[in-house]
């Protein structure tokens, strides 16, 4: 992996849950490297609430359109969220971090007109310390790959990397609060994706990647943010397996 001044990589300690996390991260990287080229094509069908979902991820960012804010996008993938942030904040400087080089290659293609506004870092953000400060740290459809203990550690790291008054926004998959709710939400999501005409091979590939997930409930994650010291913690949007939540420093 490559490092930038924003991320200093360190070795993953092996043992117990950390060993499982490291194995999972390797599997996640492999899965998304393989999926990168077809990833964008199926997004709107696999995320039936696509427009509302990404709009809800932008609205909590509490800055004026022309502010020169620094933004960190964790698990940036092919750059969807960074694209929407850049469109809403045309003077923002955005650092995109993802474990998959192939995903970042697609992000570079999407954002190439932005030039120096964007930095691309291949790194495991769950393991690498964040050494710079940001007005906003955002993530979309990524943190659910991190273990529950890893999420809590990550939230503390994110809080430390925010400037006072800064915001963290996570647009992600969440588990239902009960097993019956989880099954219902999952089945309804599958139904909506099929109604939108998702190709069955794409759907099978997505379901296979979901086997690597460690999704937590919305209430658990809001509680973890508060426990780490975030204020104004709120759910901005919820639709079946998708939710957007935020917290301020």
List, in order of start, the domains of the chain with CATH numbers: 17-177+207-248 (3.40.50.150)
pLDDT at 39: 55
Query: In the chain, pLDDT over 70 holds for what percent of residues?
Result: 83
Query: Does the pLDDT at position 106 exceed 50?
Result: yes
Token digits for 18? 């950390």
C-alpha to C-alpha distances, 87 to 60, 63, 136, 198, nearest whole angstrom: 15, 14, 15, 28
DSSP tag of 56: H
Q: What pLDDT digit, counting tens, does each position of 63-103 carry?
A: 999 999 999 999 999 999 999 999 999 999 999 999 999 99
pLDDT at 209: 87
Question: Between 119 and 21, where is the model more confident?
Answer: 119
Query: Does the pLDDT at position 15 exceed 50?
Result: no
User: What value does the mean pLDDT of the chain take?
Assistant: 86
Q: Mark residue 49 as left, alpha or beta (left: phi above 0; alpha: psi -120 to 50; beta: remaining).
A: alpha
Query: Does the pLDDT at position 113 exceed 90?
Result: no
Q: In which element (H, E) is residue 236 found?
A: strand 231-239
C-beta of residue 225 within 8 angstroms of C-beta of residue 211: no
Per-position DSSP letters for 71-105, written without gaps between them: EEEET-TTSHHHHHHHHH-TT-EEEEEES-HHHHH
pLDDT at 112: 84
Query: In the chain, pLDDT over 90 holds for what percent of residues?
Result: 77
pLDDT at 157: 98
Other CB atoms within 10 A of residue 6 CB: 20
Query: Does the pLDDT at position 192 exceed 50?
Result: yes
Query: Does the pLDDT at position 21 exceed 50?
Result: no
Question: Between 18 and 187, where is the model more confident?
Answer: 187
Query: Does the pLDDT at position 35 exceed 80?
Result: no
The residues that bridge with 167 in the sheet, in sequence order, are 136, 248
Of the listed ranges 38-47, 168-177, 225-234, the one predicted with least confidence: 38-47
């Amino acid at each position: 992996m490559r490092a930038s001044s924003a991320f200093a990589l360190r070795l993953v300690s092996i043992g117990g849950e950390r060993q499982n996390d490291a194995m999972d991260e390797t599997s996640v990287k492999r899965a998304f490297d393989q999926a990168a080229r077809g990833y964008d094509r199926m997004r709107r069908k696999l995320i039936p609430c696509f427009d509302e979902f990404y709009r809800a991820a932008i609205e909590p960012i509490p800055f004026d359109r022309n502010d020169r804010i620094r933004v960190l996008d964790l698990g940036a993938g092919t750059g969807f969220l960074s694209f929407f942030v850049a469109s809403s904040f045309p003077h923002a400087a955005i650092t995109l971090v993802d474990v998959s080089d192939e995903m970042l290659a697609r992000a570079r293609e999407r954002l190439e007109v932005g030039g120096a506004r964007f930095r691309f870092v291949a790194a495991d953000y769950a393991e690498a310390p964040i050494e710079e400060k940001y007005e906003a740290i955002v993530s979309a459809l990524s943190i659910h790959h991190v273990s529950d203990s890893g999420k809590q550690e990550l939230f503390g790291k994110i809080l430390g990397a925010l400037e006072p008054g800064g915001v963290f926004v996570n647009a992600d998959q969440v588990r239902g609060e009960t097993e019956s709710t989880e099954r219902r939400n999952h089945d309804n999501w599958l139904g909506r994706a099929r109604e939108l005409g998702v190709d069955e091979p794409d759907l099978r590939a997505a379901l296979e990647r979901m086997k690597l997930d460690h999704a937590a409930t919305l209430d658990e994650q809001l509680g973890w943010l508060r426990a780490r010291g975030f204020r104004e913690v709120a759910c901005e949007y919820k639709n079946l397996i998708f939710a957007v939540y935020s917290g301020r420093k």
